[in-house]
Structure formats: structure tokens, C-alpha cells
Chain A
Amino acid sequence: MKGIVFTEFLDMVEAQFTPEVADRMITAAAVPSDGAYTAVGTYDYHEIIQLVAQLSALTSIPVPKLLYTFGIHLFGRFVMTYPTLFSGVTSAFSFLERIEDHIHVEVRKLYPDAELPMFVCDTSTPDCLTLLYRSSRPFADLAEGLIAGCIAHFGAPILVHRDDIANSHGTHVRFVLTKQDSPA
């Protein structure tokens, strides 16, 4: 898993809780890297699972809620860090449709070894976008948070419905996004 996920997670924990909570979380997780991450490195994804589990134990916030909140935070950081990815994109739908064919392509230019989840888009229904998320890792909550962050960034109201699809190989989730009428 790319290091930016780890560095941003630690930043979020320090900001939304305290540096002391972040330190206790890292110490209790006893991860191989000892919490020393760089955004350009690659680390075992089990480390983030251990960190989130420890944060959940420390704060009594469920793991899915923490991952979802982190997803929203992470999207905001992507906006700040990679503004070129948002150039010319005016809506959440158009951004999410570009994940596989544009965003992931750009990521692989910098990190050919990146193991990215797969997003398949279906735009056949007007005002509705179906996103099929597949990953070998259990991060559907993080993906849902990223989608929520994306919707919040572009501002237009969109309702997200999530279906967890039973799958013995990794994570498979269908997100159905439906545009809502803007408040008058």
C-alpha cells in the first residue's frame, strides 16, 4: 500500500485526536515499520489495519467509521496534493468515471508497482452512476469515505447506496450514486 495512505492517516489522527493518541496507537500496533512512513514508500497494508484497530480500541470508534472518516480526509488531501488530477473536472460523476482510465494511469506512471483496486463504472442510467469496487484488500469503508469526500468536494447532492457483494476472493462492493435535487 502506498505510503501516502499511512502518512495522511497519521496526520489525521494527530489532528483529529492528539499526537499522544497517535503515539499510543503506533506503540500498541507494534507494526514492523514502527510508524516511520514516507509518502513515496510502499508498506504492507496489514500495518494500516493494525493501526486502525488500535485507534478503534483507544477511541471506542468502530473500525468502519474510522476508515470512512479517513477516506473523506484522504480525498481532501488528494485535492490539495494533486491539483492536476482535478483540472477540468467539474462534477463528482466525471471525476469518479476517470478513476480507472486516468487517475490510476497517472498513479502507475509514478509507482509502477502500485497495487490498485479496480473501479468499473456504469453510466447507462441518467442521473445515476454505478461503481463496482473490487480489491484484494478489505478497504470498502475507505473507498466509501473517498466517494463521500469526492461528493463533498464537488458540492452537488448525491445519494450513495452501498451493496456488499458476497465474494470469497477479496472485497467486492457496488456503490450506486444517485443525483438529488439541489436545495432551492
Chain B
Amino acid sequence: MSDTELWARRLERERRARKEAETLLESKSHELYLANKALQQSYDAIAAAKNYTENILRSLMNALMVVTPDGTIQAVNVAACSLLGYSEAELVGWPMT
């Protein structure tokens, strides 16, 4: 086999390898696109559920106060603010005691 033939065959192998790598990259890009889309859908579903729960807590007739283990007020609803006579901004972050 001549040197020219040898190089031509080597070039052809390199070219096939490049095309295979390009196909692989496109396939992975498509997988990434689908995973990203699924992640976005999950995020939207979680955000909607969070919004739904917050709306229920906010509209409760009973006072509700969420306190961290160290006794700091983390969240309050409208009824709690009315009962205590303070705004949400005034209550959140302050200690319960």
C-alpha cells in the first residue's frame, strides 16, 4: 500500500470519527434540551403549588404563625397581624418571646 493510500484511509477514519462525535454531541444536546424542559415544568408546578398553599394560609380566618426552632417568627398570616396589631414586616424576623 502506498503512503498516499495509507494517508487517505487514515483521513477517512478521522473524518468518520469527527462525524460520529458531532452526532453524539447533537444527541446529548437534545437530551439536555428535554431534561431542561422537564426541569422547567417541575419548577412551574412547584411554584404553582407554593402559590396555592400561600393563598390558603393567607386567607385563613385563624391566626397562623410559623416559628423557627430558635423561636424566630418566620411567617405570619393576615389574621395573625390583625390579632397582634403589627404588620407582617414588623413581625417577621423577631423573636416570639
Distance between Cα atoms of A47 and B65 in the complex (Å): 65
Contacts of A111 in B (CB 8 A): 29
Q: Is A40 an interface residue (CB 8 A)?
A: yes
Q: Are B22 and A39 in contact (CB under 8 A)?
A: yes
**Beta-carbon contact of B19 and A39 below 8 Å:** yes
| Chain B minimum-CB-distance residue to A82 | B26
Interface residues of B in 19-57 (CB under 8 A from A): 19, 22, 25-26, 29-30, 33
- Interface contact B22-A40, CB-CB below 8 Å: yes
The answer to whether A109 has its CB under 8 Å from any CB of chain B is: yes
Residue of B nearest to A109 (CB): B33
Question: Cβ of B18 < 8 Å from any Cβ of A?
Answer: yes
Distance, CA A39 to CA B29, complexed state (A): 13
State whether B30 touches A109 (Cβ < 8 A). Answer: yes
Chain B interface, >50% SS class: helix
- Judge whether A110 is part of the interface by a CB distance below 8 angstroms: yes
Give A89-123 interface residues, CB cut-off 8 Å to B.
Answer: 109-111
Interface size on B, residues (CB 8 A): 8
Q: Is A136 among interface residues, defined by CB-CB distance under 8 A?
A: no
Describe A's contact surface by its main secondary structure: loop
Q: Which residue of A lies closest to B22 (CB)?
A: A39
Check A38 for interface membership: any CB of B closer than 8 A: yes
Q: Determine whether the beta carbon of B18 is less than 8 Å from that of A38.
A: yes
Judging by beta carbons under 8 Å apart, are B26 and A40 in contact? yes
Known: A38-B22, A109-B29. 15 other contacts (CB 8 A): A38-B18, A39-B19, A39-B22, A39-B26, A40-B22, A40-B25, A40-B26, A40-B29, A109-B30, A109-B33, A110-B26, A110-B29, A110-B30, A110-B33, A111-B29
* Top 8 closest pairs, chain A to chain B, by CB: A39-B22, A109-B33, A110-B29, A40-B25, A40-B22, A110-B26, A38-B22, A110-B30
A-B contact pairs, 17 of them (CB 8 A): A38-B18, A38-B22, A39-B19, A39-B22, A39-B26, A40-B22, A40-B25, A40-B26, A40-B29, A109-B29, A109-B30, A109-B33, A110-B26, A110-B29, A110-B30, A110-B33, A111-B29
